[in-house]
A and B are shown apart, each in its own frame.
Chain A
Amino acid sequence: MIKFEFDVTASSNGKVINCHVCLTLNSCEHNECRICQSKLHSRNKHSLQNTIALLFTGFLFYIPANVMPIMYTNLLGQKTGNTILGGVITLWQQGSYPIALIIFIASVLVPIGKMIALAWLCYGVATDRFSSYQKHHTLYRLTEFIGRWSMVDVFVVAILVALIQMGNLMSIYPGVAAIAFAGMVIATMLAAMTFDPRLIWDPVNAKSDLNQIKNQK
């Protein structure tokens, strides 16, 4: 283990600013990074507004994604629509519990959990109500990491549509919910990206006192 010395944060120091692209410290006088010429900004601009707007978009997509059928099955001329939850229930009844669980977690629990978590983080940052900064930061990392995995369901539909094309004997084709679902995943991924985790720490940063940071540890 290496021991670190640490004092204040870049924002509270008032002299330096961290480049978001190449992670170089720059003097505050500059608008562009001295190494990579990216625009410098201390925090993501309008981070909370953008995150909340994108979360709302994601939520709007989430409703049709669950209500409308994500794919249609044509079995001997009989056409039936399958929703995401319907698919999970069918899989569960067929006895493929692990797959049912994967689909349920990836396409039902993760999106809604992620939206609640991000909304909670925005609320907490706006009202400064966090008791543990570390725990909320971990929550943010989790939402950022897990977001992409919701796309599994869209990929499953694509593969099924590609493989099962036997006319009226048995065919599968995609439903509107696939688009809504993909829209939801993209909107929530963008929401997680626009959220700036540094905002979680800003109440501590504002104090900018060496002792206070040390006491917290």
Chain B
Amino acid sequence: MQHHPLQSNAHQSLESETIACHECDLLIHLPPLAEGHKALCPRCNHVLTQKRRNARDKVFAFAISAIIFLVFSLPFDFLSFESKGNARIVTLAESIESLSLYNFESIAILIFLTTILVPGIFLLGLVYVLISLSVNKMYRHTQKIAKFLFSLLQWNMAEIFLIGILVSFVKIASMAKVNFGLSFFAYVLFIIFLALTVSNLDRFQFWRWVKIHIDQNQPNLSQLKDRGV
């Protein structure tokens, strides 16, 4: 078996696999899952993994769409405001940047990071990893990117920004006319596709794709270190 690392790995994936619950550390023999199956930790009910139909293709397609809509949400009008003959039109960047007029750059940077940069880098990183998996080449940074992808996700606040916009819309709707621009609708679509990407992306399955990929490209690496498990 030692001469056929690929075969032995393929064989392993058909049998039950021992994993530890990420949240309560219980050791579980995970049986092979069929498409549409979801595995819960028997003790703490943490969703261990969920195997969705065509998950990889869906994640890739949704991530690409989200990136496109994020790009489209940048150049056009985001929101416009009209009251007593005064009008003001802002783009997405301007709506964040205005805070720096009053020396609140720190908050402006925080909002820029959590609503544009972090989700943007997450999506680009995800697409990079998925492309490197599908052309079956180990690009230089694939593994590094895969490692920080999921920690980025915790800092994404794009959907909260949208709620914030809607709340402020209601707040000023009585005293002025607020219109949503083209960029705003692009941003809403970006949030929808980002949510679809995240809901189809399962951390366990994602790492399984990466593991198979690493095994194929660097069979020695995981073989050498794999002892005693």
Contact = CB atoms under 8 A, between A and B. Distances in A.
B210 interface: yes
B27 A13 contact: yes
Contact of B170 (A7, A32, A96): A96
B6 interface: no
Interface stretch (B63-71, B104-112, B120-128): B104-112
Of residues B22, B104, B163, which shows the largest number of chain A Cβ atoms within 10 Å of its Cβ? B104
A37 B30 CA distance: 23
A217 interface: yes
A193 B81 CA distance: 39
Contacts of A178: 104, 107
A99 B29 CA distance: 47
A13 B214 CA distance: 28
Contacts of B210: 22, 35-36
Of residues B23, B88, B171, B176, which shows the largest number of chain A Cβ atoms within 10 Å of its Cβ? B171
B45 interface: yes
Which of the four size classes fits the interface of chain B?
A: 35 or more
Contacts of B178: 163
Interface string B162-199: 01110110111010101000000000000000000000
Contact of B227 (A4, A27, A160, A201): A27
Contact of B95 (A137, A159, A173): A159
A36 B143 contact: yes
A205 interface: yes
A94 B43 CA distance: 48
Interface stretch (A46-54, A57-65, A144-152): A144-152
A163 B146 contact: no
A18 B171 contact: no
A154 B157 CA distance: 12
A102 interface: yes
B88 A163 contact: yes
Interface of A: 2, 4-11, 13, 15-16, 18, 20-30, 32, 34-38, 42, 91, 94, 96, 99, 102-103, 133-134, 137, 148-149, 151-156, 158-166, 169-170, 173-174, 178-179, 182, 186, 189, 193, 197-198, 200-201, 204-205, 213, 217
